[in-house]
């Protein structure tokens, strides 16, 4: 048996027990922070449902391999449209037309809907019909960062699994197992915040750390920018909410580290390669200002996930950022 999900053993055990007892839920809602492993676990569930081996998923049969490549005709991954990746009602209607068809190769049609919490109200309400009366050969897997944005009627008709951040030592061990060099594995495990998917993706792509540096450079540039420049930045980035969410996540982690640094809890700092920059910012930032900035970042992230007007949300954020004269955080 091959379950490659790292650090969510309790969820794997629950899914295995359902499969073994023939009680697999017709709909499962995987909840948790971005890149924590929700889609990975949903795809492994799809493998297990259609794997012909006695202890699925084997990871080696044609069905498992096709699902891993996202080429299985009975496994469909549905992502929303546009920059906000909001699932639309026409996508749900297309899903419903697909759902009534018998599987081509496997025992089940597995329909995976990513970021269902970003679905339009009309799409979520339309999905409810399929959740209430699912065809016997259909299994739905939904992922959500903010399940509270979904109608309660949708959530109540799903088996809900809340995936929690994974311990740093487990993330680091998983990276080392994948032949990631020890120093990089340690840094990525620290930066991941327990998000295994992010850490593994970053270990395979150097652009992730380069992008992190650019995001921090942008933050420091904003801290020393005037009002007009800040509003201009907010207008530009509002056209790409996905990039805005990534930058806000990075800045939130930075200000969390800043508060840890100021509170002498430095063993828990994630940006371990940026201690000089943290120290410089800590000397210029009162603790109350750091708390206020962290609060503003978190509120803006929630607003973007709730599909609030991105420009208004981001304009409010950049005007709340403190003003400093700082050099780029190039590292220790």
pLDDT for 146-189, tens place per residue?
Answer: 899 899 999 999 999 999 999 999 999 999 999 999 999 999 99
Give the domain CATH number at 268: 1.20.272
Same domain, 15 and 157: yes
Same domain, 34 and 120: yes
- Residue 319 pLDDT greater than 90, yes or no: yes
Amino acid 1: pLDDT: 57
Amino acid 81: pLDDT: 83
Q: What is the pLDDT of the chain when averaged over all its residues?
A: 91
What domain count does the chain have? 2
For range 83-95, the mean pLDDT: 88
Residue with more model confidence, 2 or 66 = 66
Residue 51 lies in domain: 9-162
The proportion of the chain whose per-residue pLDDT surpasses 90, expressed as a percent, equals: 73
Same domain, 85 and 213: no
Within the chain, where are the H helices?
9-20, 38-50, 62-68, 89-99, 121-132, 152-155, 168-177, 182-192, 196-204, 207-223, 227-237, 241-262, 275-284, 287-305, 310-320
- Residue 133 pLDDT greater than 90, yes or no: no
Specify the pTM: 0.81
Same domain, 40 and 119: yes
In a domain, 238, yes or no: yes
Give the domain CATH number at 40: 3.40.50.300
Same domain, 249 and 141: no
Question: What is the DSSP code (8-state) at residue 143?
Answer: E
């Amino acid at each position: 048996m091959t379950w490659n999900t790292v650090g969510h053993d309790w969820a794997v055990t629950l899914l295995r027990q359902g499969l073994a007892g023939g009680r697999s839920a017709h709909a499962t809602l995987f909840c948790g922070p971005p890149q924590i492993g929700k889609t990975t676990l949903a795809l492994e569930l799809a493998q297990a449902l259609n794997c012909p081996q006695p202890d699925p998923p084997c990871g080696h049969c044609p069905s498992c391999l096709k699902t891993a490549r996202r080429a299985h005709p009975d496994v469909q991954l549905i992502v929303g449209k546009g920059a906000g990746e909001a699932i639309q009602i026409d996508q749900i209607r297309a899903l419903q037309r697909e759902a009534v068809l018998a599987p081509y190769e496997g025992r089940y049609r597995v329909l995976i809907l990513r970021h269902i919490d970003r679905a339009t109200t009309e799409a979520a309400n339309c999905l409810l019909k399929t959740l209430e009366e699912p065809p016997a050969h259909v299994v739905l897997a939904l992922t959500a960062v903010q399940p509270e944005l979904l109608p309660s009627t949708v959530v109540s008709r799903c088996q809900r699994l809340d995936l929690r951040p994974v311990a740093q030592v487990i993330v680091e061990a998983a990276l080392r197992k994948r032949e990631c060099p020890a120093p990089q594995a340690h840094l990525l495990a620290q930066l991941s915040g327990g998000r295994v998917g992010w850490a593994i993706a970053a270990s395979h792509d150097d652009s992730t750390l380069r992008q992190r540096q650019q995001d921090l450079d942008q933050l420091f540039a904003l801290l020393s920018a005037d009002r007009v420049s800040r509003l201009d930045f907010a207008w530009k980035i509002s056209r790409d909410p996905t990039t805005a969410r990534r930058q806000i996540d990075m800045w939130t982690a930075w200000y969390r580290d800043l508060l840890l640094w100021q509170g002498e809890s430095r063993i828990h700092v994630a940006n371990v390669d940026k201690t000089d920059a943290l120290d410089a910012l800590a000397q210029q930032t009162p603790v109350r200002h750091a708390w206020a900035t962290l609060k503003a970042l978190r509120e803006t992230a929630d607003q973007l996930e709730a599909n609030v007007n991105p420009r208004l949300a981001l304009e409010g954020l950049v005007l709340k950022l403190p003003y400093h004269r700082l050099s780029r955080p190039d590292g220790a």
